[in-house]
Every structure is written in C-alpha cells, then in structure tokens.
A and B are shown apart, each in its own frame.
Chain A
Amino acid sequence: MRDDAAELTLGPVWFNWKPADWRDFYFRIADEAPVSTVYLGEVICSKRAPLFEPHYEAVTERLRAANKKVVFSTLAEVMLKHDRQMVDSVCTADDVPVEANDASALFYLQGRPHHVGPFMNLYNEETFAVLAQRGAQNFCLPAELPAPAIRALCEATQALDATIEVQVFGRLSLALSARCYHARAHGRTKDSCQFVCENDPDGLELRTLDGSPFLIVNGIQTLSQDYLNLIGELPELGALGVSRFRLSPHTCDMVRVASSFRAVLDRHITAEEGTDQLEALNLSAPFSNGFYHGKPGYSWIASVAR
C-alpha cells in the first residue's frame, strides 16, 4: 500500500447523543477533521432513529460540501417490524452508498455496490469472495480479528478489487442482545425506556464487584471500557494491505484524534508522537490493542516502543 492511499474514516455514532449535539459534531467534522468518509446512521436502536432524522439532510450536505463521502450504515440487529422497515428504506434509496451490518441488508443490496460493516461476521477469504461477488467493495473487519487473519484477508482481497477497513480508535463493540441493558439498569424495558441512554453519551459503565471498570452498556450493545488505539500499529497495518482506518466517535475531541492519526499516516509525526498526543486527551479509560496482538482484548501491548 502506498501511504498516500491510506484513508481515514469516521464510523457511525453508536450512542444516543442529543440531536443538536449530534448535528454540531458532524458540522465540525465536515469543517475540520481530516477524514475522507463519514458513516452516518443509527446502527444500535431503531427507536432512536427518528430523533436524528430532522438533521440528516443538513449534515449530509455539509459533509459532502467538504468533499467527504457519506455512507449510510444499517442497523446491527434487525428483528422487529420497525427495524425491518428501517433497513428496507435505507437499502432501497438509490442515492446513498450503504454499509450493511446484518444479513437482511445484504438481502436488499444484491448486485449493488456496497460496504459491509464491522457487525457482520467477516472472518475469512471465502466469506469475502461470496460477498464481493454480490457487490461488496469495502469490508470493515470485526474488532476481534488478530493480525495473522488480517494479513491473510488482505492477501486474498487483492484479487477481489475490494478494500479493507479496520477500526483503529474507540471503544470496542463486544456484544449485541435483544434486550436493552440501559433500560434494565434503570428498571425499565426496551418499550418503556424513555430514552434513558441519552444520559450516557459514551455509554454506562459497569464495574465488577471488586470495583474494577469492566464493560460499557449502550442500549442493546455491550462495549469495552477501554478505548481501542492502534495508532502504533498503523505502519504495520498499512504494510499488511489495510487501506482504510476507522475512528469510532466519542465525546472526546475527535478532530484532534483524527488529526493525530492523519499525521502518523502521512509520516509528519512518528507513532510515538501520535501516542503522546492521544494520551494528552486524558480519556476516562485506558487504551487497548489486545485483539490485534492475539491477546485478551483489554490488553495493551506497547508496540510503539520498538
């Protein structure tokens, strides 16, 4: 991979931000963040989706005016009637590229160029071949894939004319459920939730019984408490053949995050300097990179020190 081919992307916001904050976040991304593609769309909860609808048009226009490609990302778990209607309407709109996060979206996207998202079980070259034949052009890998599997996938994908994208920043999505754990924490159910998830713009922290921060609840999604940070692995990922690097949005300064990653990709600063810049964000949780190194996901392997 040539370094100038490396693209930085921004994944969809997984959390239930206040709609005005959500809109302003994207306006600022459009104006200031060095990302080439922005994934929009509610991927966690179909109940939340209408909250953001009034702002989609303005956000999309602003991003496109800034020369950023906009891709709509579909729901990760599709079960109820309303979920299904959402996927249907996103996938059958012909003016936006779509990222499929479950098999029902793939059902609609047959024969059309599309992206396949990190909630799909994209583990091997045979799966890639099936999906590429149906129109998949970009694969965002599941977070738990270790480096040897990423390497093998990159080699196999060269023949497919598709690109590989890897999440390099943000909390890791670890599980989905039919039950809303945010509602459960507040003694409510998914139906009676009153959107209580809006109080936790980076998710609700679960601690173990000995007080250690462990997991993060976001509606039906369970995430890691720590923030994935592969800034030190960027050169290696590029050498493997990964060409797109995804940042997952949080309330921290994502423009600064994007700028640090872009600067390392462009070799304006070293990975060590990039790491220092990210540490200066003073996030509430540590960094992790264990999955990439074949270790427990929460682990931090100081690869930058080489």
Chain B
Amino acid sequence: MAGEIGSGANGYLRPELVCPAGTPAALRTAVDAGADAVYCGFQNETNARNFPGLNFTLAELEAAVGHAHARKAKVLLAINTFPPAGRFNLWREAIDAAARIGVDAVIVADMGVANYAARTFPELRLHLSVQAGASSPEAIRFYCQEFGVKRVVLPRMLTVGEIAAIHQQIPCEIEAFVFGNIGMMAEGRCSLTNYATGISTNMDGVCSPAADVHYEEDAERNLTTRLGRFVIDRFTRGENAGYPTICKGRYRCDARTGAYYAFEEPVSLNLSALLPDLMRAGVTALKIEGRQRSRAYVQAVVSAFRRAVDDILANREPALAELVALTEGRRETEGAFRSKAWR
C-alpha cells in the first residue's frame, strides 16, 4: 500500500499520486511524469467523462495496463455512472472486462454496479467514486459494509480538519481531490445538464455536452454562451470566454442588482498549499482532475505534484509556484470580468 511505502520519520505518509488519463497517450505521459496511479474510462457512458475523442477501447486499456504495470504504476478504471434500468448490461460488461484485463481497482458509484462487481469478482478492488456522494462516515461505512469498498474518493466540500476526522471513523482509505476543474454541485446528484439538454450527467456521463453548446457574437463582438436554449454567460470583446457550464454561469435574481455568479466563480481547485496537511490527515491518495486536458497539461501538473510530494517527504521546501501559475491565469481573467460595462 502506498501509505506504507517510504513514510518519513517526519510524520508524513507517502501518498499515492492519482493522475488523469483521458487517452492512452496521456496515460503514458502521466506515468512518465511520476504518477503512482492513473485513472481512465471506456469509450462509452459507463464513465463520467464520456466525451468524444476521449477514453479507451478494450485493446487500448489492455496495452495501457501492461505499460503502467511495467513501470510500477497502477491503473484505476472509472465505471462511475448510473445505469438506467434496462441498460445495465453495458456496465456489467465493463466490470467483466476490468476483471479480465486486470486493472488495479474499479471506481464505482452505482450500488447495483458495486454489488455486481463485489459478488462476481470478490478479488476485484473497489473504490467509491466521488459520484456516489458519500460525505459522512456513516455513508462511507454503508458502502464498505455492503460492497467491501477499499477506498473512498471524498467530495471536495470538506476541510482538511474534517477529512482527518472522517479518517478516524471509517474502515477504508481516503482519496482526496487536490487540483483541477471541479463543479460546485454535489457530484452524482446534479441533473442540471439533463434539464437543459436532455443528456444526463449521471446516466450518460456528460456534463455540458459540446453538441448543445452555442457561442453567439454580436456586432460589438461581445460573446454570449448558451447551453441548449439557456444563456449561461456573456463576455465583452477580447475576453477569454469560459465553456458554458450551468453551475459556473452568471444570472440575475431579485436579491441582487447586477448579474452574479449564483453558484461559483469559474475558478479551479488548487490545494497544493495544503499538501503537507493532507499528507498528515490520513489521506492515502491525492487525485488530480483533468481527463479532458492535453498531454502538456498532464505533464506539467503531474511532474509538479510529483516534485512537491517528494520534497515534502524529504523535508525540503516544496516548489509550488508552477502549480499556482497553472491556475493564476484563470483567476486574473476572472478578475477582469468584474469591471465590464455590460454588467
């Protein structure tokens, strides 16, 4: 177990660095950059990043597992959506394939999928996806008892102190998100995309499908973004327009005089400054979001986190500036949004 390897005399446990692999090329990049584990999904609605051009065929996954294992990296397969009744077979086949190929763990969210995997392949290691929304010790213990879950990916709504407290009350490992683009709504409990487009995040594995995204430019070159028929945001000429996601859009309401981010500003998560605390809070694995990101991004983020974790373990001051740089651009852009006249 990662937590037992190289735990330092300084009280830090060596965490497993879990990195995104949207494609076979990204998987190789992440492994080469120092990932202890990579996570990926099949090219269908069994995973929560079911986007065109992403994910793995059976043959690709098989080759990827060989590549990763040869370099002592683990492969975690996300089968973390919710099969609607009548279509369970696709998810059953995904579990069967995962067991046959020999992935190191399957990341599940649906109770039926978890139950099928636990009963059919008792040796197959199960991780509980953030999509299951288990945010309390009792909820996590339910999944451990019923399905033998070995690790929970915690919703990122918790503070480090709360994570440490949960660690004391559950019989499984903890994986925590540390970096990337994360929505404001509780994962696995959001039908906003389906409401606007007819495509379900939980059942189809897609949030804000590209086919329903529209950009409209007016005569002054202001840009309006829509999801389906709904306006999600507006940007003045030359500004960096965000991808229209309902929970990151701007709206109006009677309690406010102007447009505002009703749910969250379009910032991305960066917990690099909290790494030392997380590594003492009992977190077994640190997760980086971004299966939809480029290989260059994966390379930069994974190697920066690799160095930071290794520095902390060796009692060196971690260099976190690169990671801050990867998010700061967005923050500055966001700041500029506030002063525009159209608001």
A205 contact set on B, CB distance < 8 A: 253-254
Binds B, one of A61-69, A181-189, A252-260: A181-189
A215 to B191, CA, bound (A): 12
A263 contact set on B, CB distance < 8 A: none
Binds A, one of B13-21, B23-31, B136-144, B309-317: B136-144
Chain A 139-186 residues near chain B, CB threshold 8 A: 142-146, 148-153, 156, 172, 174-179, 181, 184-186
A179 contact set on B, CB distance < 8 A: 157, 184, 263-264
Binds A, one of B64-72, B107-115, B171-179, B294-302: B107-115
Contact A125 B112 (CB under 8 A): yes
Of B109, B113, B253, most A-chain CB atoms within 10 Å: B253
Size range of the interface on A?
35 or more
A186 contact set on B, CB distance < 8 A: 255
Contact B82 A124 (CB under 8 A): yes
Contact A145 B256 (CB under 8 A): no
Of B82, B195, B233, B249, most A-chain CB atoms within 10 Å: B195
Q: Known interface pairs A131-B111, A178-B186. Does A144 touch B231 (Cβ–Cβ under 8 Å)?
A: no
A134 to B145, CA, bound (A): 12
Chain B 62-105 residues near chain A, CB threshold 8 A: 82-88
Chain A 93-134 residues near chain B, CB threshold 8 A: 102-104, 106-108, 119, 121, 123-131, 134
Contact A222 B251 (CB under 8 A): no
Contact A87 B138 (CB under 8 A): yes
- By DSSP majority rule, is chain B's interface helix, strand, loop, or mixed? mixed
Question: CB of B266 within 8 A of chain A?
Answer: no
A37 to B103, CA, bound (A): 47
Contact A123 B135 (CB under 8 A): no
Question: CB of A195 within 8 A of chain B?
Answer: no
Question: CB of B326 within 8 A of chain A?
Answer: no
A174 to B134, CA, bound (A): 18
Question: CB of A22 within 8 A of chain B?
Answer: no
Q: Known interface pairs A79-B135, A121-B109. Does A177 touch B188 (Cβ–Cβ under 8 Å)?
A: no
Contact B141 A156 (CB under 8 A): no
Which of A146, A177, A185 sits near B256, CB closer than 8 Å?
A185
- B164-199 interface mask toward A, CB cutoff 8 Å, 1 = contact, 0 = none? 000000000000000000001110111110111110
Contact B136 A78 (CB under 8 A): yes
Contact B135 A126 (CB under 8 A): no
B85 contact set on A, CB distance < 8 A: 123-125, 145, 149-153, 156
How many cross-chain pairs have Cβ atoms below 8 Å apart between A and B?
223
A133 to B180, CA, bound (A): 39
Question: CB of A290 within 8 A of chain B?
Answer: yes
Contact B142 A103 (CB under 8 A): yes
- A210 CB to closest chain B CB, in angstroms? 5
Contact A83 B138 (CB under 8 A): no
Q: Known interface pairs A175-B190, A205-B254. Does A79 touch B157 (Cβ–Cβ under 8 Å)?
A: yes
A86 to B250, CA, bound (A): 34
Which of B88, B155, B252 sits near A126, CB closer than 8 Å?
B88
Question: CB of A224 within 8 A of chain B?
Answer: yes
Question: CB of B259 within 8 A of chain A?
Answer: yes
Question: CB of A89 within 8 A of chain B?
Answer: no
- B209 CB to closest chain A CB, in angstroms? 11
Question: CB of B228 within 8 A of chain A?
Answer: yes
Question: In chain B, what residue has the closest Cβ to A78?
Answer: B136
Contact A204 B136 (CB under 8 A): no
Chain B 207-239 residues near chain A, CB threshold 8 A: 224, 228, 230-234
Closest 8 CB pairs of A and B: A126-B112, A178-B157, A152-B86, A152-B85, A297-B195, A104-B138, A103-B139, A127-B112
Residues of B within 8 A of A (CB): 82-88, 109-113, 115-116, 132-139, 141-143, 145-146, 155, 157-158, 184-186, 188-192, 194-198, 200, 202-203, 224, 228, 230-234, 246-247, 249-256, 259-260, 262-264
List 6 A-B pairs, Cβ < 8 Å.
Answer: A84-B136, A123-B83, A124-B86, A172-B191, A185-B260, A208-B252
